[in-house]
């Protein structure tokens, strides 16, 4: 099963919890056991798995990325969004999560976030859910 979800980001740097949308896709797929692949087809955004209980974690991640990739350096990319490209590379644009008993298998406090670094924009996340051949 393949599904595309659309997300509207709110600010230049934003973390949007998309766990519920992905869980819905897993439920709709009727896959009992398998793998859920997530892909963000944008060069200035990414996908993060991390704590989704305390929003301060998102702020702390954004703060550290800003320190690692500061504005104001003599970046050569002419569009002025080099920091967004670099942050996206650091976090990555894909993840996979095991599916068992029709549910994503994640840690107790884990969630899936779209990480925006050049917003606000409209973004897509592609979801591919594959059934484990042994359980088919």
- Assess whether pLDDT exceeds 70 at residue 31: yes
Question: How far is the C-alpha of 30 from the C-alpha of 49, rounded, in Å?
Answer: 23
Condensed to tens digits (0 to 9), the pLDDT of residues 77-133 reads 989 999 999 999 999 999 999 999 999 999 999 999 999 999 999 999 999 999 987
Structure confidence at residue 118 (pLDDT): 98
94-100 vs 33-39, strand pairing mode: antiparallel
- pTM given for the model: 0.93
**Residue 47 and residue 125 in contact, taking contact as beta carbons nearer than 8 Å:** yes
Question: Token pair 């509207």 is at which residue?
Answer: 8
Burial pattern 107-133, b for ≥16 Cβ within 10 A else e, equals eeeebbbbbbbbbebebebebbbebee
Record the tokens describing residue 62, joined without a space.
């954004």
Structure confidence at residue 24 (pLDDT): 97
Question: If you count them, how many residues does the chain have?
Answer: 136
**Residue 117 and residue 45 in contact, taking contact as beta carbons nearer than 8 Å:** yes
Structure confidence at residue 135 (pLDDT): 63
Domains of the chain: 2-135 (2.60.120.460)
């Amino acid at each position: 099963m393949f599904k595309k979800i659309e997300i509207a980001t709110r600010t230049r740097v934003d973390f949007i919890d998309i766990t519920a949308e992905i869980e819905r896709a897993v439920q709709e797929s009727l896959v009992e056991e398998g793998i859920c692949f997530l892909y963000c087809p944008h060069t200035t955004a990414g996908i993060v798995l991390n704590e989704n209980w305390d929003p301060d974690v998102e702020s702390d991640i954004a703060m550290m990325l800003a320190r690692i990739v500061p504005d104001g350096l003599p970046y050569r990319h002419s569009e002025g969004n080099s920091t967004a490209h670099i942050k996206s590379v650091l976090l990555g644009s894909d993840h996979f999560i095991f599916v068992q008993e029709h549910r994503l298998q994640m840690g107790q406090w884990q969630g899936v976030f779209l990480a925006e670094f050049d917003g606000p924009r409209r973004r897509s996340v592609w979801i591919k859910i594959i059934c484990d051949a042994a359980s088919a």
